[in-house]
Amino acid sequence: MTLLHWATVSPFLLAIFIPILYKYTRSIHTGWFVLVLPLVLFGYFLSLLPITSNGGVIHETIPWVPSLGINFTVYVDGLSLLFALLITGIGTLVALYSIYYLSKKTEKLNNFYVYLLMFMGAMLGVVLSDNLIVLYVFWELTSLASSLLISYWFHREKSTYGAQKSMLITVFGGFAMLGGFSLLYVITGTFSIREIIEQADAVLASTLFLPAMLLVLLGAFTKSAQFPFHIWLPDAMEAPTPVSAYLHSATMVKAGLYLVARLTPVFGGTPEWFWLLAGFGIITLCWGSISAVRQKDLKSILAFSTISQLGLIMCLFGLGSATLHFDPTDSMIKFYATATLAAVFHLINHATFKGSLFMTVGIIDHETGTRDIRKLGGLMAIMPVTFTVSLIGLAAMAGLPPFNGFLSKEMFFSGVVTATTLGIFNMETWGFLFPVLAWVASVFTFVYCAIMFFRTFTGEFKKENYDVHVHEAPMGMLISPVILGSLVVIFGLFPNLLTYTIIEPAVTAILGADVFGGGEANIYLWHGFNPELFMTIAVVAFGTLIFMNMKKWQQTAFYLRERDPLNRVYDSSLDWLIKGSQGITRVQMTGMLRDYFAYMCVFMILLFGYTMVRYNAFAIDTVNVSVISPYMWVLTLVFIGSTLAIPFINHRITAIIVVGVIGFLLALFFVIFRAPDLALTQLLVETVTVVLFMLAFYHLPELRKEKFTPRFNLVNLFISIGVGGLVTLIALSSFALGTEAGLGTISEYFIENSKELAGGYNMVNVILVDFRGLDTLLEVLVLGIAALGVIAMIKLRMTGREDV
């Protein structure tokens, strides 16, 4: 493995040793061991900046399933390196913060850090994978790890509810995304993202373009909490604050944004991609900002603000994708690419100011015991450092100068204003909505930032509202938010520290070309008096007016209804799903073995029958059929007669003898067909079975004839004939089609290729281990799961009073 591969999987490797470290180093907080890894990884990825900033890429491949085109390929360019730095950089600060936030005396730190490292590795896998299937594997691992982190305090009902909700919604999107990836493979014949981008014209020309795009966007929208899939994010706030600061500001919710950015060269430049991203993004931006104003819990406000900011970035990616519609030589191409530049810049800014805000909210909760803005107030003098960092973060999120959020918000306004001049995709009709909705959302963003600040830090401090002694957090807990707050100021005053090293290479990777000419993408704090500045002034004026008149509308139904109304749709859908599954279970799980066999047989008849008819695969060739000898006819008739006799036998000893005869006749067939190993296995199994039946003869129930209705007997008859006839036709057809195509029989294939392809002389072993290797592996897996179940039952040692 290369160094890049080791860097990607290193969090998983460390996670394996966390339980051991936790067990034998109880005197040391486990977080200190974890902290080292993201710090080292951050330094390693920083060392790659000179390569990507000069337009270079790094590409390393390890074969995984090459026959299916699946390889563990790590690809580093400006975009993937940006996300890798966010994952490891914010991860380092979160690990440091968690050391002081989570007590080693009361918390199960081994679980927490295993889940955290698992998530970190999964996110690195998502952003560094070039193969879509490998990306999907890591993608679903992020959903699993995030659900485990959200439900870390599993004794709380809200935590498990939030974890279940995030899992159901994001995994649903992940399955849809997998379908989109499969369609892309059908179109291009490859799972490599780079190779798919090279065949972007073929994708656009394909009839599968639209369904592939919609399925991929379902995955991106669910993961990045876009409307109407955003409802999982507020409930995910039940996780510990370090989790919220990591997952919901810089990493997991950005995975969907990464996917959209990465596949923009494939789908971008089309009206469908443009309107879906820009439309859902601007709706999410408005919905999130308006909903945040109604919240009373600090983390809930930040949750809806995150939804809003994610919508802003998604909208910018959509607007920026129009760049691909124009000729790269167009002199206005840089003007049109403003939106993409703003998206990348705001993605970085959001990670800094939102990460710091989550941490300060965690400090407030940790040191006061509450996050309710109706109880908080007057903390400015008591918690001066927390107050300062919160002021910086909230001002940046509100888009006030001189902080980084102001710069990217001005670029956002510039992007939506520019969009009205595109002259494509019917923007002359609906384009005016983008600056209007962007301004409205920005007003409400200013309002909820003001609510968080003034309700928390100003006013009178009422000691009776708190159950603990309120004081400033320890220095260790303040380091991480102070660092992020400092970056907010630094990136606001000196934005070009990032422009040429990180932002411009990322934009180049998204748009597929260096539209800014290498070094022309300057970001300035002051651009003079322009429409964007006047929009900001109006935002502050109207936002202040709304905030000052809050008492007039905070008793309205709008303000009092905190929970998102779309949750009703989710809850009712979940109830319907549960009731529907229970109904199906009642019909299917009758407790009668013959019913289960009937369901399986009917399903097999329908599936295989449809497949054979669909591909016109039924064929019978009697020319090369072997002659059946007389003794084979005799054995076959005895076999059939014994089988048909079983339902009519009333005595147990007779039934045991007849069943034994059938088993030994089957072993004889194996001998005749030259399968001595199968014959030996059958003889041994049948002998043991008969002996066991005889030993348990006394305890066997009396055989009785069951009365069935004629209709029931007729159904059984049709199912039996259908299964037997279908299996016979499939066997005859496979033989006939192989002979017709000159392929020979299946046995001839194994005879010719067992030694050459698998290196073995025993064909049966070769078939089981090599040709059917995956099937055998899954069988072993099932046996392993069963063994674990047996061990669990033995270890559980239930007394029988657990349900009392």
Domain ranges across the chain: 275-562, 591-756, 757-804
Q: How far, in Å, are 116, 632, 800 from residue 211 at the CA level?
A: 34, 55, 53
**DSSP character for 592?**
-
Which tokens in the block code for residue 282?
């601007």
What confidence tens digit (pLDDT) does each residue in 23-59 have? 888 788 999 999 999 999 999 999 999 999 888 999 9
Average pLDDT of 716-725? 88
**Identity of the highest mean pLDDT range in 292-301, 551-560, 669-678:** 292-301
Q: Is the dihedral of CA 726, 727, 728, 729 positive or negative?
A: positive
**DSSP character for 563?**
S
- Rounded to whole angstroms, the Cα distance separating 357 from 298 reads 10
Q: What is the pLDDT of residue 279?
A: 95
Mean pLDDT lowest among 232-236, 620-624, 659-663: 620-624
Average pLDDT of 409-414? 93
- Rounded to whole angstroms, the Cα distance separating 391 from 450 reads 10
Phi, psi of 530 (to 5 degrees): -130, 175
Predicted confidence (pLDDT) at residue 709 exceeds the cutoff of 70: no
- Rounded to whole angstroms, the Cα distance separating 446 from 539 reads 7
Predicted confidence (pLDDT) at residue 652 exceeds the cutoff of 90: no
pLDDT-derived band at 368 (thresholds 50, 70, 90) equals very high
Q: Where are the alpha helices (DSSP H) in 549-628?
A: 550-553, 557-560, 566-588, 593-614
pLDDT-derived band at 656 (thresholds 50, 70, 90) equals confident
Residue, of 204 and 558, whose pLDDT is higher: 204
Q: What is the pLDDT of residue 738?
A: 64
Q: How far, in Å, are 296, 375, 453, 472, 543 from residue 448 at the CA level?
A: 10, 17, 9, 24, 9
What confidence tens digit (pLDDT) does each residue in 55-82 have? 899 999 999 888 888 999 999 999 999 9
Predicted confidence (pLDDT) at residue 180 exceeds the cutoff of 60: yes
Average pLDDT of 350-379? 93
Please answer whether residues 130 and 192 qualify as being in contact, where contact means their C-beta atoms are separated by less than 8 angstroms: yes
Report pTM. 0.83
Please answer whether residues 249 and 86 qualify as being in contact, where contact means their C-beta atoms are separated by less than 8 angstroms: no
Q: What is the pLDDT of residue 95?
A: 95
Q: What is the dihedral of CA 668, 669, 674, 677, to 10 degrees?
A: -60
Q: What is the pLDDT of residue 496?
A: 87
Q: What is the pLDDT of residue 740?
A: 57
Predicted confidence (pLDDT) at residue 388 exceeds the cutoff of 90: yes
Predicted confidence (pLDDT) at residue 101 exceeds the cutoff of 90: yes
Which tokens in the block code for residue 256?
């969907």
Average pLDDT of 727-745? 72
3-state secondary structure of 151: coil
Q: What is the 3-state secondary structure (H, E, C) of 348-389?
A: HHHHHHHHHHHHHHHHHHHHHCCCECCCCCCCCCCCHHHHHH
* Cross-strand pairs, 58: 76
- Cβ within 8 Å of residue 3, ≥6 positions away: 44
Average pLDDT of 676-683? 86
Say which amino acid occupies 641.
Answer: G
Predicted confidence (pLDDT) at residue 670 exceeds the cutoff of 80: yes
Predicted confidence (pLDDT) at residue 525 exceeds the cutoff of 90: no
Q: What is the pLDDT of residue 484?
A: 96
- Rounded to whole angstroms, the Cα distance separating 362 from 369 reads 10
Please answer whether residues 353 and 379 qualify as being in contact, where contact means their C-beta atoms are separated by less than 8 angstroms: no
- Rounded to whole angstroms, the Cα distance separating 762 from 754 reads 8
- Strand 58-65 and strand 70-76: the pairing is antiparallel
Residue, of 737 and 368, whose pLDDT is higher: 368
- Rounded to whole angstroms, the Cα distance separating 452 from 376 reads 10
Phi, psi of 538 (to 5 degrees): -65, -35
Judging by beta carbons within 10 Å of its beta carbon (0-12, 13-18, 19+), is residue 418 exposed, middle or buried?
buried
* Cross-strand pairs, 129: 74
Q: What is the pLDDT of residue 603?
A: 92
- Rounded to whole angstroms, the Cα distance separating 527 from 523 reads 9
Q: What is the pLDDT of residue 650?
A: 77
Q: What is the pLDDT of residue 804?
A: 44
Average pLDDT of 559-570? 84
What's the mean per-residue pLDDT of the chain?
89
- Rounded to whole angstroms, the Cα distance separating 347 from 646 reads 72
**Identity of the highest mean pLDDT range in 326-330, 333-337, 454-458:** 454-458
- Rounded to whole angstroms, the Cα distance separating 301 from 293 reads 7
Which tokens in the block code for residue 706?
């069951």
Average pLDDT of 602-617? 89
* Percent of the chain predicted with pLDDT > 90: 57
Phi, psi of 199 (to 5 degrees): -105, 30
